[in-house]
């Protein structure tokens, strides 16, 4: 079981997006037990709707726009945590006791989020503290929603993941939690 992994995300076949040339995501366990995450989106960024620092979005709906996501659970239980990170620096966390069974989220420190844009590449780096993660082995799903600029008030969306279950896009499905990482225990 690795302490880090970098991989290409796969676009769901029902939502192709020609403006995206490549989309990768990586996760690395930090010495203190935290998790460093990074997403790199390369393509025609002008053809995509990418929230910037001047754009404020409803935190509970970051996923309705270009957004990078991490789903974190353990192999021995159904509970998991969903993190949404916008390129504008906003974030949101949702806790679930089981598949799409949302529960109240405890107050935890904010993650560190660093967006960078250079030429045709958008990168978003995130650091989750150990307090944001369950101890021991982690099952992680790294995903992204990419909104295309198409002239409508709500753009066209493509859905990217390490692995997609059969059927429509569903990031909450455990089949997508395809990355196994071990966090050191104190």
What tens-digit pLDDT sequence spans the chain (186 residues)?
344 557 999 999 999 999 999 999 999 999 888 999 999 999 999 999 999 989 999 999 999 999 999 999 999 999 999 999 999 999 999 999 999 999 998 888 999 999 999 999 999 999 999 999 987 889 999 999 999 987 555 678 999 999 999 999 999 999 999 999 876 665
Please state the length of the chain.
186
Supply the DSSP symbol for 154.
S
> Taking Cα atoms as reference points, which of 138, 148, 130 lies closest to residue 41?
148
Q: Does domain 4-123+140-183 have CATH number 1.10.3720.10?
A: no
pLDDT value for 154: 63
pLDDT value for 101: 96
- Chain center to CA of 2: 19
Residue 86 has which token pair? Answer: 């916008």
Q: Are 117 and 45 in contact (CB under 8 A)?
A: yes
pLDDT value for 71: 97
Residue 44 has which token pair? Answer: 């025609």
Residue 155 has which token pair? Answer: 């753009």
Report the C-alpha gap between 83 and 94 in whole angstroms: 7
- Chain center to CA of 45: 18
pLDDT value for 149: 84
pLDDT value for 106: 87
pLDDT value for 1: 37
- Token look-up 């198409």 returns 150
Inter-CA distances, 72 with 86, 128, 142, 162, Å = 18, 11, 9, 13
Q: What angle do CA 43, 22, 83 make, to 5 degrees?
A: 100
pTM for this entry? 0.92
Residue 89 zone, left/alpha/beta (φ > 0; ψ -120 to 50; rest): left
Residues near 122 by Cβ (< 8 Å), separated by ≥ 6?
40, 41, 42, 45, 50, 87, 115, 116
Report the C-alpha gap between 19 and 53 in whole angstroms: 22
């Amino acid at each position: 079981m690795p302490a880090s992994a970098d991989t290409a995300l796969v676009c769901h076949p029902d939502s192709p997006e020609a403006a995206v040339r490549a989309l990768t995501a990586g996760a690395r366990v930090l010495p203190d037990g935290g998790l460093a995450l990074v997403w790199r989106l390369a393509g025609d960024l002008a053809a995509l709707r990418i929230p910037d620092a001047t754009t404020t979005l409803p935190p509970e709906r970051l996923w309705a726009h270009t957004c990078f996501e991490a789903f974190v659970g353990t192999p021995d239980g159904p509970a998991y945590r969903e993190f949404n990170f916008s390129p504008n620096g906003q974030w949101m966390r949702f806790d679930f006791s089981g598949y799409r069974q949302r529960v109240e989220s405890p107050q935890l420190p904010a993650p560190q989020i660093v967006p960078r844009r250079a030429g045709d590449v958008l990168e978003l780096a995130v650091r989750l503290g150990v307090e944001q993660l369950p101890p021991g082995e982690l099952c992680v799903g790294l995903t992204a929603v990419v909104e295309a600029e198409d002239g409508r008030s709500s753009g066209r969306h493509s859905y990217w993941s390490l692995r997609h279950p059969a059927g429509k896009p569903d990031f909450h499905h455990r089949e997508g939690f395809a990355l196994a990482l071990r966090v050191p225990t104190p």
